[in-house]
Every structure is written in structure tokens, then in C-alpha cells.
Structure 1
Amino acid sequence: MKSILIIIVVGYALFFLTFCSLQRQFLYFPQPASNVYGEMNTHFIVDGAKLYGWAINEGQPKALIYYGGNAENIEANIPFFKAVIPHYTVYLIPYRGYGNNPSTPTEAALYNDAVAIFESVQNQHQSVSLMGRSLGSGVATFVAANRQVDKLILVTPFDSIENVAKEIYWMFPVSWLIKDKYRSSDRVKDITAKTHIFMAEDDQIISRARTEQLIAEFGNQLQEVVVIDSAGHNTISQYPEYMSGLQRALD
């Protein structure tokens, strides 16, 4: 019995240390850029770093900046955005450390980059809307809380990464350990943009409780919550209801 207890304690300690030292590897899953959908055709310089990406449907008065999920090749959305919202110029800029972009992702770095890119895009368009999916919803809420945004679209969002992690790693004092918390629910009070939220009925990554807790923080700025039946976290964009809902939100 004593040896079993020692094994449990040692195993806990090892996992604890691994979580502490490698937690960002558990959160961020950068994907290399693909040229299947076209070469990168735009870039932004933030604090000396050149961040490359794609601008599609160029020359439109309205713009949409899309923030992707943590393991998403955001360029795979190019055909979708060309077909669904041709009246918006859409910016797909991989996070630093993603695609071919330099450096490593952190919460603070992603926020800083997103605000700088937003300000640059804002100077070129009459209005700018934001769309964040999964991890990107945390980035989108930060920008929307700190800048004047036209519309905000959140896809499979969470109240905080901290709470998502607490559900998974319930045996650890996550709030003390986690570095990148992405507390979207704390920022809702500062968001004025008309907001639309899309949920996947069978989301196995972000629990419904995490999304509903975020929704509960919204007031009159929340325009619509769309639950896509049978959709999963990674398949929600394949459903016609998602396409029509996005068109409705950006009409």
C-alpha cells in the first residue's frame, strides 16, 4: 500500500511539473502555412516582427478580421469567405509562431498583435468586424473590448481558457499555475459591438457550460445565439446553418 501511494505521489508530481513547464505546448498547436489556397499577399509589422497572411475580396469598404482556432490552418477558410461574404475584405493573419510567422505565441503577444493589426486595417476601411473561433474568440473579445468594433462573431467560444483547463485538469490548482487565461467573460461589460455566437451541439472540446457562462455575461449587445445541431467543435463550419447565420450576422 505504501509503495502504491509513493507511485501516485511521484506520478502527480511529475505531471504537475510537466504541466507547469510545458503548458503552452498543451494550449498552442501551430500549423505550417499551406499555399494550396494561394500565396500570402499581405503583411503587418508589429514591434519589428513581420506577420504575413492573406487578404481576400480586397477593396471592399467593410472588413472582417478572422482569428482562428489553436490548431487551425486559417487559410483553409479562403474559399468559404470568398463565397459567403464577398462584400467584405477578409483578413486571415496567422498568429505569431503560426504559419510562417516568427516568434512564439503567448496571450499577451497575441493581444498586442491583434490590436496593432486592427488599427492598421481600420485605417483602410469604413468599418471593421471581428470573428473569433475557439482560441480566437479570446483574442476577438479582447480587441472588441478595447477598440470600436462594428460586429463581433464568436464561434465555439469559452468564458475563459482558465475554466476550460480546470475542467480537464481538475486535480491541479490550475488558477495558480496557468499563464494564459483568456478571460473573455471578464471583458464582456466593455464590448459594445453587436455580437453573434455560434455553438456546436456536440462540441467535445469546449463544454456547453463554458459557452453558456460567457453568454450569461452579455446584455443588449448580444443579437443572436445559434446552436448548430449535430455539429462538432471542428465541423461546425460545414453546416448550412452556419453559413446562413454568418451571412445574417454580417448583412
Structure 2
Amino acid sequence: MKLLRLALAAVLALVTIGYGGAVGYMYFNQRAFQYDPHGEITPLANSGLTGGEDVAIPVGDGEVVNGWYHAPQPGKPLIIYYKGNSQSFTAEHERYVRFVADGYGFLAFDYRGFPASPGTLSEANILADSIAAYDWAAAKDFPIVIWGRSLGTGPATHVASQKESLALLLETPFLSAVTVAAERYPVLPVNWVMLDQFRSNEWIAGVTEPVFVGHGTADRTIAVSNGERLYELAPNKDELWIVPGADHSDLWDAGIWDKAKAFFIRSGAVTQ
């Protein structure tokens, strides 16, 4: 009996040590798991855009975030586009070409730590960069709509809760980043140890703009329930667009741009 107790104690000690080691490893390497800041930079000259310009937006301490800007045509708004979690914002140049072709302006950029913007990658910097981008765009004195995709839905929601715009579009959003982490690593105490939690579920309460959420039922990166729950928390709901069978990167091909244009008209951002 004594030997059994000793054996059980030894097993428990090994499990505890192993679990603690796993938690420690995840804690010290968590940003490497959370972010994917790699990819090629497409030069503006090779993007297919005409009339756009490279911009460098100051973000404090002598640092800048780099992006592209194009003014809208009369009667159309400026889209501030908050990118997702992989590659450079320049990889999505197809989107910007469509925006401009339909008369919309846009500002898109890389957060610090992503390919086009050197610096330290963290939630605090992403949120600061996103506010700085909004302030830069607002100084152009055009109507503004905010579009966040994936990771970018966090800063987009945060900015919309702090600043004025005419509409907030969230493409494949999370309820919070820590919610996704808890779904992915249910045995780890992510609520206690995760540094960059992006609590959109709290920020959405301060969003007075109409909110559109798009998500796919087959999303393997951020489960569709995240988008559904976040939409339910929005004070000013416009539309919840759920695409059967769509994965995380499928909404553009599924027609989200047509949905977005209709949403921007409904929100009053388009005046002619």
C-alpha cells in the first residue's frame, strides 16, 4: 500500500512538472504561437493600383507604420482596413484594387512587427498603431468606415469604440483572442497567462456605429460561434452574414465586397 501511494505521488509529481513545463513554454513563446508576421512585400507599383501612394504614419518613439492610401471619389467613404494575422497588408492588393475601382478610398498598413513595419509586435502596439492610422485618415476629412479582418477585427472594434465612423464591418471576427486560445488549448490556463487577449467582447459595448459581421460555418481558424456571439453583443446590429461551408479565407470569393457595399449604403456612408 505504501509503495502504491509512493508510485501515485511520483506520477502526480511528474504530471505536475510536465504541465507546469508546458504552461511555461507556452507563456514564454506565446507570441510566436499567436502571430504569423511573415510574408513578401508587394511594391505598390506591382499591385495594379493607380493613383495610390505609399504612406508612413508616425506611431511614437520615432517609429512609423507603413501603408498605402488612396482618396475616395465624391460621395464615397474612406475604408480604414485592419489586416489579419498573416503576411503583409500588401498581399491583399486585389481587395484594394476593387475598392478603388468602385470609387472607395482606403488606408491599409502593417502593424509594427509585420513585414512592412519594423518594430515590436504586441497587442499594445497593434492598438496604438490602429488608433494612429485612424487619426491620420481622419485628418483627410472624408467619411470613414472601418473594416477589420480576422486579427484585425480586434483593433477595428477597439478603434470603433473610441473614435467616430459611419460603419464597422467585421470579417471572421473572434469574440476575443483569449476565447480562441481557450478553444484551441482547453487544458491550459490561457485566461491567466495570455498577454495579448484582444477583448472585443468588451470593446463592442462602446461601438455606436452599425455593425456587420461576416463568418463561415467551416472556419477552422476562428469558429463561427465567435462571430455569432460578438454580433449579439453589438448595440447597433445591422446584419449577421453566415456563409455555409466557408472557411477562414473564403469570404472575399463568397461576395463580401458586394455585401459590404450594400452595408455602407444602408449606413449612410455612401451619399451618391
- Give yes or no for contact 2:87–2:115 (8 Å, CA) kept in 1: no
| Structure 1 runs not aligned, ≥5 long | none
Out of 229-238 and 34-43, give the one that drifted further.
34-43
Name the counterpart of 2:117: 101
- Report SS of the residue matched to 2:29: helix
Aligned partner of 1:187: which letter? W
Give 1:123 shift.
1.1
Q: 2:240 aligns with which of 222, 225, 232?
A: 225
Q: Distance in 1 between matches of 2:53 and 2:89?
A: 12
Q: How does 1:148-167 map to 2 (within 5 A)?
A: 148-167=164-183
Q: 1:20 aligns with which of 27, 47, 59?
A: 27
Deviation digits for residues 61-110 of structure 1, max 9, x if unmatched?
52111111111432232222322553221111011111221112111111
Q: 1:182 aligns with which of 167, 190, 198?
A: 198
Aligned partner of 1:88: which letter? Y
Q: How does 1:86-235 map to 2 (within 5 A)?
A: 86-219=102-235, 221-235=236-250
- Report SS of the residue matched to 2:27: helix
Name the counterpart of 2:66: 52
Give 1:126 shift.
2.3
Q: Is 1:65 matched up with 2:75?
A: no
TM-score by length of 1: 0.91
- Report SS of the residue matched to 1:104: coil
- Give yes or no for contact 1:107–1:182 (8 Å, CA) kept in 2: yes
Query: How large is the Cα RMSD of the aligned pairs?
Result: 2.0
Deviation digits for residues 109-168 of structure 1, max 9, x if unmatched?
111111111111101032111110111000000000001111100000011111111111
- Report SS of the residue matched to 1:101: coil
Name the counterpart of 2:268: none
- Give yes or no for contact 1:66–1:131 (8 Å, CA) kept in 2: yes
- Give yes or no for contact 2:131–2:159 (8 Å, CA) kept in 1: yes
TM-score by length of 2: 0.84
- Give yes or no for contact 1:28–1:71 (8 Å, CA) kept in 2: yes
Give 1:247 shift.
1.7
- Give yes or no for contact 2:212–2:240 (8 Å, CA) kept in 1: yes
Give 1:182 shift.
0.6
Name the counterpart of 2:270: none
Aligned partner of 1:42: which letter? V
- Give yes or no for contact 2:172–2:224 (8 Å, CA) kept in 1: no
Name the counterpart of 2:264: 250
Aligned partner of 2:225: which letter? A
What percentage of residue pairs aligned between the two structures are identical? 26
| Structure 2 runs not aligned, ≥5 long | 1-6, 266-272
- Report SS of the residue matched to 1:92: strand
Q: Distance in 2 between matches of 1:125 and 1:233?
A: 33
Q: Is 1:79 matched up with 2:94?
A: yes
Q: Is 1:34 matched up with 2:42?
A: yes
- Report SS of the residue matched to 2:145: strand
- Give yes or no for contact 1:84–1:247 (8 Å, CA) kept in 2: no
Q: Distance in 2 between matches of 1:249 and 1:82?
A: 19
Aligned partner of 2:20: which letter? A
**Structure (1 or 2) with the larger CA radius of gyration:** 2
Number of corresponding residues: 248
